[in-house]
Amino acid sequence: MPIFSASLGSFTSISFLSTSQSQSQSHLSPFKLTVKTPWQWQHHHYLTSKVLVSASGNTQIPNTELLQRPTPPDPLDDVRQARRSSDWKAAKTYQDSKLIYNGRVEGFNSGGLLVRFYSIMGFLPFPQLSPVHASKEPEKSIQEIAQGLIGSIMSVKVILADEDNKKLIFSEKEAAWSKFSKQVNVGDIFEVRVGYVEDYGAFVHLRFPDGLYRLTGLIHVSEVSWDLIQDVRDILKVGDEVRVKVVGIDCYCRGKSRINLSIRQLEEDPLLETLDKVIPQDGSADPDSMSGGDSGSIEPLPGLETILEELLQEDGIYDVRISRQGFEKRVVSQDLQLWLCNAPPTNQRFTLLARAGRQVQEIHLTTSLDQEGIKKALQRVLERVP
C-alpha cells in the first residue's frame, strides 16, 4: 500500500514510495516535484523543487530554483519599427521635394522647439524660427515665446532627415520663404526692423502689409551708406527700424534663400548730380575745396589719364577734358570710381565724374553718342585698361 503526504499546490508530476521500498531504502527518499502557480503560468516561470518525503508523511524542501523561459517577441514592436522606418522615408521625401509640413509643437529645450513628425520627434532650432513670433511680442525672451508655442500647429520644411543618426531638423523660415517670397520684387521698398548685426552687414526683418515681419534679408555693409563704413554697428543697432530697397533676390545662396537690401540706394548718389551739388558753393565749403581750369592745370586722379586717352580712341567721341575738381568732407571709397551724370547734354557735351577718396574731378565729354552709347564705350575702355 503506497503511503504519501505532501501538499505543495498544483503539481504536474510526482513519484510515490511503497512500504516495501521505504523499508529497503533510507529513512528519506527523494523525488522531483514541479509546481506551477497560475501567476507563473501567465509569466512563463516554472518552480522546480527537490522534495524529500518520509513514510510518516513529513516533507522537506532543501532547495528551490526559479527557471525562466525566454519571452517571445512582442509582435507590436515589429509594427512600431516598420512605422518608424516608413516615417523616416516620408521625412526624406519631404526634404527632397521641399514640401511644407504642418507639425505640432510638443515642447522645447534650450536650443529650439520639439516638433512631431508622425511617430518621430524632430527639432527646430531657434534661429530657424520665422521672425513673425518675435515681432508680435518683442518684449518676450525666446524661451517665453517657445513656451507659448507648445500645442500649436506650425508650417515647417524638413531641412535634414538622417535616419542613421536619428536627426530630423525643421525650418519655419524656409516654409515662410515659400509662402511669401513671391510678394517681394527687386525695386520694392520695405520698412524693416534690425534683427542682428554681423561684421559684414545687418540682418533685418521685412514688414508686410499685414504689419507682420515675415521674411529676413541682408543689408551688406557696402549698402548701408554712401560713406565709408568701418563698423556696421556704428550705424545700425538691434531693434532699429529703417527703410530699405530690394536690390537682389538670391534663391540658392549656399543652399539658402536670401533677400539683398540697400539703404544707400534710397538716397541719390552724390556723383549722379553735378559737382556743384556734391560740394556746395553757398559758403559752407572750404575756399580751397573747388578749383577750376583746363585739363592741363589739373592732375588727373591715379589711373584716370589712361582711361581718358582710351576714350578718345572710341568712335563718336571728339574731346575729353577735366574741367574742375573738388574735395568732399567724407570718404566713400579709395578706389577710382567713374560715373556718368544724368543731367541732359549741352551742345553734345556730357559730364563724367571721377572720384577717389575725398577727391572728385568733373570731366566734360564732347560726343555724338547718346547715354547708352557712352556707357558701352566706357565699358569697352574699362575692359582694355588693366
CATH of domain 183-262: 2.40.50.140
| Residues 343, 332: Cα–Cα separation, whole Å | 22
Region of poorest pLDDT, from 16-30, 214-228, 236-250:
16-30
Checking if the pLDDT of 22 tops 60, the result is: no
Burial letters 312-333, b for 16+ CB under 10 A, else e: eebeebeebebbbbbbbeeebe
Percent of the chain clearing pLDDT 70 (strictly above): 70
pLDDT in tens, 241-275: 999 999 999 875 445 678 999 998 888 665 555 55
Assigned fold of 78-176: OB fold (Dihydrolipoamide Acetyltransferase, E2P) (2.40.50)
pLDDT in tens, 50-59: 444 555 555 5
pLDDT in tens, 158-171: 999 999 999 999 99
Domain limits, the chain: 78-176, 183-262, 273-278+300-384
Length of the chain counted residue by residue? 386
pLDDT in tens, 207-224: 999 999 999 999 999 899
Strands (E), 263-348: 290-292, 317-327, 337-340
What is the arithmetic mean of pLDDT over 15-22? Answer: 42
Domains 78-176 and 183-262 share a fold: yes
Q: What is the pLDDT of residue 11?
A: 40
What is the arithmetic mean of pLDDT over 132-159? Answer: 93
The number of angstroms, rounded, from the C-alpha of 112 to the middle of its chain's C-alpha atoms is 13
- The helix (run of H) or strand (run of E) holding residue 80 is helix 75-97
Region of poorest pLDDT, from 63-72, 137-146, 147-156, 337-346:
63-72
Mutual orientation of helices 371-384 and 304-311 as an angle, nearest 10°? Answer: 120
Q: Is 360 exposed, middle or buried (0-12, 13-18, 19+ CB in 10 A)?
A: buried
Average per-residue pLDDT for the chain: 78
- Residue 169: closest CA among 130, 214, 216, 123: 123
Question: What would the grid cell of residue 88 be?
Answer: 523616416
User: Do 171 and 156 meet the contact criterion of CB atoms below 8 Å apart?
Assistant: yes
